[in-house]
Structure 1
Amino acid sequence: MPETSRRDLFKALAAGALVAPLSALASPAAVEAACGPVMPRWGRGPEGQRSADLGDGTYLNPIVAGDHPDPSILKDGDDYYMTFSSFYSYPGLVIWHSTDLVNWAPIGPALHRTLGDIWAVDLCKHGDRYYIYLPANPTGNGWSIFVIWADNIAGPWSEPVDLKIEGCIDPGHIVGEDGKRYLFVNGIRRVRLRDDGLATDGALEPAYSPWHYPDDWVTENFAPEGPKLLRHGQWFYLVTAVGGTAGPVTGHMVIAARSRSIHGPWEHCPHNPLVRTLSEAEPWWSRGHATLVEGPAGDWWMVYHGYENGFRTLGRQTLLEPIAWTEDGWFRARGGDLSRPLPKPASGKPSTGGFALSDDFSKDRFGTQWAFHKPGPNERERARHGDRCLYLQASGSSPIDSSPLTCGVPDRSYEVEVTLEPAPGAEAGLLLYYNNKAFVGVGFAADSIKNFQYAEELVWARAPRKPGPVRVRLSNVENVVTFHHSHDGGRSWQLHPTRMEVSGLHHNVFGGFLSLKLGIYCAGSGEVAIRDFRYRSLTAPAR
């Protein structure tokens, strides 16, 4: 079938013209049956989720789809571990594992105690112990660097220790030629650590004055941040982000410097910037915040993040690009604009990628999949598991002042269904949630159905509802959102009267560096029983 016909099909899905059970509607096979073969742009993982691994020895970015910004990667023998900024999501700092650098699967969260906003961290190993150095803003009044540690990457992880490095973010750990441990932070500044890595051993001091791009380049701001360091041969290499992490698509970039000593002097790389988005036509915007890592075969790679063209709502996603060391002792990025498949790293052991998001709630998947947004100190106690059911206690009076349960998504187009049964006094619903100022969704009170459009309830659109459990469907087809609900377990569906376009619900509008996540809220009093959450990627044609 012609490409235009395929597009018409997906426009019809977005408009709610086709209503069928999720298992029939959302599968790639159903799409092919309706309009002929669709050439997938990515490989396909669990539930049709896009996968970087194309199955032919090549991969197509992102390697971790969805909101996984500020990647911090650790090579530990034949294993690779990675974690990301978790912001207000708790449990947080989920650690992911790979053996081939392309296929990644989550192990579990390292941080359970709420510390407010969590930004770019550094995952490292010193001796036989793992550390995560993390910037946090527990009170909302100022940043400090904390550290947690574990003797096993899977945990248990320690309680956070405040290093009292105030007003700093983006730590990067390195051991100097003197055998001492150091943290580099935004600025670019440096502080020596005690040998156990759990306290500072000196004052914060300037370390490097970063290379500056020409003044006429279109960037957000200078913002030297994200220092990541390694020792390679006789040199220490310092990789830094400049240009601002959002704003114009051409702003964020990767630069490098090197020195014989951790104390400097540092010389700018003559090839700066090593990575930068040059045009809005490129598939990945605002590329930056990089770390170098050695591949399984001894070749080298760069891991960083970027926004997907047209899908800032997904947040900053994790990208992998090959690099090559040059005769002059520097390195160059070799992936271009990442629009085409690239050869996978050689010699990597087979690795499992992704995980199914559908959940029957027979197991506790908090942190791995589910997290509370901006929870209070005892928020985790709001949720308890029953017989294939999750019971969520109410908080607040609406999605605006509640702490919803959220789940990140990896795909451009997808559909979810879930059954909600609010107890008397409770109101519950399904959302696409950025923060309390930016969300869309439907809610089910005792006797009415509510519609939320861009963080406001459309009071005029309230409709009566039947008592008892309700099954809710959310379809997001390339940023066009449609809701349905059913009172007979999904045999018949009622279309909600308002559809919403959500491409503007992202950081450049609302701040916070977050993403648009699936959310389930419960407000009022009492609790909601949540059952049979199902997710399915909708395999839309490539643009």
Structure 2
Amino acid sequence: MRMDRRDMLASIAGGAALSASPAGARAVAPARDPWRRGIEGQRIADLGDGRYRNPIVGGDHPDPTIVRDGADYYMTFSSFEALPGVMVWHSRDLVNWRPLGPALTANIGSVWACDIGKHDGRFFIYMPVLTEKRGFRIFVTTAARPEGPWSEPVDIGIDGCIDPGHVVGEDGHRYLFVNGIRKVRLSDDGSQAVGPVEPAYQPWHYPADWIVEDFAPEGPKLLKRGGYFYLVTAVGGTAGPPTGHMIIVARSRSVHGPWENCPYNPVVRTVSEDEPWWSRGHGTPVEGPAGDWWIVYHGYENGYRPLGRQALLEPVEWTADGWLRARGGDLSRPIPKPRGGVAGAAGMALSDDFRGSRLGPQWSFHHPGAAGLSRTRFDGAGMLLAAAGSGPGDSAPLTITAPDRDYAVEVSFDLSPGVEAGLTLFYNFRAFVGVGFDGKSIRTYTSGERQPWMDRIMPTRNVRVRMTNVRQVATFYTSLDEGRSWQLNDLRTDVTGYNHNTFGGFLALRPAIYASGAGSVRLRDFRYRALG
């Protein structure tokens, strides 16, 4: 039996198990649900009938970059302030994706749009990193297998550039194209820049009356087909108005140009704010398992910017005159899957009993600082999270990426003296909502600030807390008896504005656990459940 939304909310408020209906709930006809539901009720792309529905990877997975290696596909994304970062994902059908592991476990800075590929039998990832002292630098890491281990990142010696795109030219030399659109020659092993950063292509420009964020040519990706190099570029700005971002194409017989613009530009663009996906752009074309062609890019779900930019898949065609052009049509409808692929596992569990011996792949620290990943310890009863900072904003919280519109999370805290710990929805240090506990009282935070007028006495060091995000309204509950009964926190917060267009940073709103002050908190029995 499915609950309608009123029954669902009654269940949450009454403290019923996340997967159970409340006692006395009335029977209702099954609601029409266009999604298949996978692990913990998360929506999954594969509809099981030869079709899929976007996104192929839900939640905040921006700037997708993809490489094919025989029957296998590997993809990664910008990770920005998250550590571990640059998670590598695997698929054999371009629709069902599962994470293999992170390529980055050392804190080298904020990682922007990467490029993954394979050359001379080794996989590589070029990653632009915003460093604290030297601004943007481009690093490279390599591995014999996408599962890793990945090498220690090496600074290749390029200042002030982002969005690398690797290519081997007709002259046999390796090059990176970067934002601008500019290019630089690399050493034969790809570990160093050996030439200047120089202009490569003056991108096609949209009409002046189009409503966009900025010209901002970025995200160059290159492929070779039929004697041409194809250069795929994003313009229009990555956020801002829904109609801003877009993908354009040019081609040349040489990586050194001259470049001819595609007559069908832009090949991908959100034309109207009524479309299901906004700000579509930053694409990588890829050949499907049976030889058809596709493009992977990102976009914001209409009305759900706090989820971040999600990974989308659209079919493309090669025209008679040798250009690629997207042909997905209405992306609110199911699309036939790529032919010839093998469906595999999709997604990952977000719940965690913390009974393992290391941090699960669903977790990452936000802006972890010098401590990096050293703040966790497992004692058999749960995971001990060491305190950092003075409150939720500067505590380098432990976060997960929520892939669903509506969801609930729960976790239990055992507090040591001197620590404040809590559960939040966290965008960045200026934008978060949640509740915290210090063993004496419960504190409430919204708009990145503590609300002292809402403090109330709660003299306990053992508490379970629940958060729901339903229709982009965050609600918090506390329990002193391990979830048998719940107390509603009076403040509920509309979180629709917690996104890049308000606070910058290109991030997403994430469930997060923090520990600040001194000492540590033991985390037990974290649960995630999609709702609706």
TM-score for both structures, normalised by structure 1: 0.95
Q: CA deviation at 1:7?
A: 5.0
Q: CA deviation at 1:151?
A: 1.3
Is the alpha carbon distance of 1:32 and 1:414 closer, same or farther for their aligned partners in structure 2, counting shifts above 3 Å? Answer: farther
Secondary structure of the residue that 2:40 maps to in structure 1? helix
One-letter identity of the residue aligned with 1:257 = A
Secondary structure of the residue that 1:313 maps to in structure 2? helix
> How far, CA to CA, are the matches of 1:529 and 1:367 in structure 2?
16
Q: Larger deviation: 490-499 or 461-470?
A: 461-470
> How far, CA to CA, are the matches of 1:508 and 1:140 in structure 2?
26
Q: CA deviation at 1:17?
A: 4.9
Matches within 5 A, 1:164-203: 164-203=157-196
> How far, CA to CA, are the matches of 1:341 and 1:109 in structure 2?
31
Matched, 1:138 2:134: no
8 Å Cα contact 1:10/1:477 also seen in 2 = no
Matched, 1:513 2:509: no
Matched, 1:23 2:19: yes
Pairs aligned (count)? 532
Q: CA deviation at 1:31?
A: 13
Q: Tell me the alpha carbon deviations over residues 405-438 of structure 1, each in whole angstroms, 9 at most, x when there is no partner.
A: 1111100000111101110111100010000100
> How far, CA to CA, are the matches of 1:11 and 1:493 in structure 2?
13
Q: CA deviation at 1:41?
A: 1.9
2:61 to 68, 72, 80: 68
Secondary structure of the residue that 1:360 maps to in structure 2? coil
Q: CA deviation at 1:9?
A: 4.6
8 Å Cα contact 2:270/2:279 also seen in 1 = yes
Is the alpha carbon distance of 1:330 and 1:198 closer, same or farther for their aligned partners in structure 2, counting shifts above 3 Å? Answer: same
1:129 corresponds in structure 2 to: 122
Secondary structure of the residue that 1:377 maps to in structure 2? helix
Is the alpha carbon distance of 1:31 and 1:140 closer, same or farther for their aligned partners in structure 2, counting shifts above 3 Å? Answer: farther
2:262 to 251, 269, 287: 269
> How far, CA to CA, are the matches of 2:310 and 2:282 in structure 1?
11
1:369 corresponds in structure 2 to: 362
8 Å Cα contact 1:479/1:503 also seen in 2 = yes
8 Å Cα contact 1:32/1:38 also seen in 2 = no
One-letter identity of the residue aligned with 1:305 = H
2:300 corresponds in structure 1 to: 307
> How far, CA to CA, are the matches of 1:39 and 1:366 in structure 2?
37
One-letter identity of the residue aligned with 2:80 = F
Q: CA deviation at 1:79?
A: 0.5
Secondary structure of the residue that 1:272 maps to in structure 2? coil
Secondary structure of the residue that 1:164 maps to in structure 2? strand
Q: CA deviation at 1:215?
A: 0.7
Q: Tell me the alpha carbon deviations over residues 274-315 of structure 1, each in whole angstroms, 9 at most, x when there is no partner.
A: 011011111100000000000000100000000001110000
2:474 to 472, 478, 481: 481
2:523 to 526, 530, 541: 530
Q: CA deviation at 1:350?
A: 2.2
8 Å Cα contact 1:19/1:25 also seen in 2 = no
Matched, 1:210 2:207: no
2:375 corresponds in structure 1 to: 382
Q: Tell me the alpha carbon deviations over residues 97-117 of structure 1, each in whole angstroms, 9 at most, x when there is no partner.
A: 000100000001000111211
> How far, CA to CA, are the matches of 2:166 and 2:28 in structure 1?
52
| Ranges in structure 2 where 5+ consecutive residues have no aligned partner | none
Q: CA deviation at 1:363?
A: 2.8
Is the alpha carbon distance of 1:34 and 1:243 closer, same or farther for their aligned partners in structure 2, counting shifts above 3 Å? Answer: farther
Matches within 5 A, 1:57-456: 57-139=50-132, 141-363=134-356, 366=359, 368-456=361-449
2:493 corresponds in structure 1 to: 500
8 Å Cα contact 1:505/1:516 also seen in 2 = yes
> How far, CA to CA, are the matches of 1:240 and 1:337 in structure 2?
22
Q: CA deviation at 1:367?
A: 6.6
> How far, CA to CA, are the matches of 1:140 and 1:421 in structure 2?
38
Secondary structure of the residue that 1:509 maps to in structure 2? helix
Secondary structure of the residue that 1:351 maps to in structure 2? coil
> How far, CA to CA, are the matches of 1:229 and 1:25 in structure 2?
51
8 Å Cα contact 1:147/1:163 also seen in 2 = yes
> How far, CA to CA, are the matches of 2:18 and 2:7 in structure 1?
16
8 Å Cα contact 2:112/2:128 also seen in 1 = yes
> How far, CA to CA, are the matches of 1:237 and 1:103 in structure 2?
27
> How far, CA to CA, are the matches of 2:384 and 2:300 in structure 1?
35
One-letter identity of the residue aligned with 2:174 = R
Q: CA deviation at 1:362?
A: 2.5
> How far, CA to CA, are the matches of 1:25 and 1:425 in structure 2?
39
8 Å Cα contact 2:14/2:486 also seen in 1 = no
Secondary structure of the residue that 1:380 maps to in structure 2? coil
| Ranges in structure 1 where 5+ consecutive residues have no aligned partner | none
8 Å Cα contact 1:62/1:318 also seen in 2 = yes
8 Å Cα contact 1:109/1:367 also seen in 2 = no
Secondary structure of the residue that 1:236 maps to in structure 2? strand
Is the alpha carbon distance of 1:10 and 1:24 closer, same or farther for their aligned partners in structure 2, counting shifts above 3 Å? Answer: closer
Q: CA deviation at 1:538?
A: 0.2
Matched, 1:44 2:37: yes
Secondary structure of the residue that 1:508 maps to in structure 2? helix
8 Å Cα contact 1:108/1:368 also seen in 2 = yes
Q: CA deviation at 1:62?
A: 0.1
> How far, CA to CA, are the matches of 1:365 and 1:333 in structure 2?
43
1:467 corresponds in structure 2 to: 460
One-letter identity of the residue aligned with 1:151 = A
RMSD of aligned Cα (Å): 1.9
One-letter identity of the residue aligned with 1:517 = R
> How far, CA to CA, are the matches of 2:329 and 2:497 in structure 1?
28
> How far, CA to CA, are the matches of 1:128 and 1:527 in structure 2?
45
Secondary structure of the residue that 1:226 maps to in structure 2? strand
Secondary structure of the residue that 1:61 maps to in structure 2? coil
Secondary structure of the residue that 2:306 maps to in structure 1? strand
Q: Tell me the alpha carbon deviations over residues 157-186 of structure 1, each in whole angstroms, 9 at most, x when there is no partner.
A: 111111121010000001111111110000
> How far, CA to CA, are the matches of 2:319 and 2:356 in structure 1?
50
> How far, CA to CA, are the matches of 2:406 and 2:49 in structure 1?
25
One-letter identity of the residue aligned with 1:23 = S
Q: CA deviation at 1:478?
A: 1.7
8 Å Cα contact 2:8/2:21 also seen in 1 = no
One-letter identity of the residue aligned with 2:122 = R
8 Å Cα contact 1:406/1:518 also seen in 2 = yes
Percent of aligned positions with the same letter in both sequences?
A: 60
Secondary structure of the residue that 2:373 maps to in structure 1? helix
One-letter identity of the residue aligned with 1:22 = L
> How far, CA to CA, are the matches of 1:34 and 1:420 in structure 2?
36
TM-score for both structures, normalised by structure 2: 0.97
8 Å Cα contact 1:284/1:337 also seen in 2 = no
8 Å Cα contact 2:104/2:150 also seen in 1 = yes
Secondary structure of the residue that 1:35 maps to in structure 2? coil
> How far, CA to CA, are the matches of 2:497 and 2:137 in structure 1?
31
Secondary structure of the residue that 2:526 maps to in structure 1? strand
> How far, CA to CA, are the matches of 2:193 and 2:28 in structure 1?
62
